Amino acid sequence: MDKNTVTLKVGLVGDAQVGKTSLMVKYVENCFDEVYTQTLGVNYMERSINIKTTEITFSIWDLGGEAEFTNMLPLVASDAVAVLFMFDLTRKSTLSSVKDWYRQTRGFNRTAIPFLVGTKYDLFVDLSDAEQEEITRQAQKFARAMNAPLIFCSTSASINIQKIFKIVISKAFDLKLKIPEIQNVGEPILIYNERSDRADRADRADRRVSAREEMRGH
């Protein structure tokens, strides 16, 4: 039986040293290097997987986080099906930077599915409970504003790496997933169901109820 072939381009953006290259290498080659190597411009790797009769190739583009490489953002963002906006869970400044990365990336691609990905979860758990809660709440707020799945991961501990790309596939092809969501502070957050649709439906229902009540009052 002939196979269908599909290529999904995924862009990785975020500040320097948040773990973009590590995540890409971990997913493609299943290895982790503790020695930091700066990305000079853009890295690129591919991984193919088979789902029934379809071969899906992830074309993963990793942009160096230093300011001098932002002129290469169009190369990473253009035609991407999904963009992972990545931050280091132990450095709050990298989460704040997501706002700028999101704004700049949207200038080149308004249709890519955004993901908010917190890295280094294995180090995050060593922070105080108060710090963990503050960072988690802020990340949840950003993810809601972006209408993006929120995922905490660790390349060194192999936490949620495979799930990120499973969720990319589910979003790209509008497929149902049975991966349990995780929302508790201190745990490896995994929130991917679209709440905006449910919120919109609930809001519309509330407006209909209010309209009916107003009609009855006249």
What is the per-residue burial (b if ≥16 Cβ within 10 Å, else e) of 4-29? eebebbbbbbbbbbbbbbbbbbbbee
Residue 158 φ/ψ region, left for φ over 0, alpha for ψ in the -120 to 50 degree band, beta for the rest: left
Are 138 and 152 a contacting pair, CB within 8 Å?
Answer: no
- From first to last of its 218 residues, what are the pLDDT tens digits of the chain? 567 999 999 999 999 999 999 999 999 998 655 544 555 579 999 999 998 889 999 999 999 877 777 889 999 999 999 999 999 999 999 999 999 999 999 999 999 999 999 999 999 999 999 999 999 999 999 999 999 999 999 999 999 999 999 999 999 999 999 999 999 999 999 999 875 444 444 444 444 434 334 334 44
Q: What confidence tens digit (pLDDT) does each residue in 9-32 have?
A: 999 999 999 999 999 999 999 865
Query: What pLDDT is stored for residue 65 in this prediction?
Result: 73
Distance CA 196, CA 22 (A): 31
The pLDDT value given to residue 37: 53
Domain segments of the chain as ranges: 4-193
4-193 in CATH: which number? 3.40.50.300
Q: What's the sign of the alpha-carbon dihedral 167, 170, 173, 174? A: negative
The 3 state secondary structure assigned to the chain is CCCEEEEEEEEEEECCCCCHHHHHHHHHHCCCCCCCCCCCCEEEEEEEEEECCEEEEEEEEEECCCHHHHHHHHHHHCCCCEEEEEEECCCHHHHHCHHHHHHHHHCCCCCCEEEEEEECHHHHCCCCHHHHHHHHHHHHHHHHHHCCCEEECECCCCECHHHHHHHHHHHHCCCCCCCCCECCCCCCCEECCCHHHHHHHHHHHHHHHHHHHHHHHC
The pLDDT, as a whole number, for residue 3 is: 76
Distance between CA atoms of residues 45 and 134, nearest Å: 34
pLDDT at position 203 is 43
Query: In this predicted structure, what is the pLDDT of residue 70?
Result: 85
Return the axis-axis angle of helices 20-29 and 161-172, rounded to nearest 10°.
90
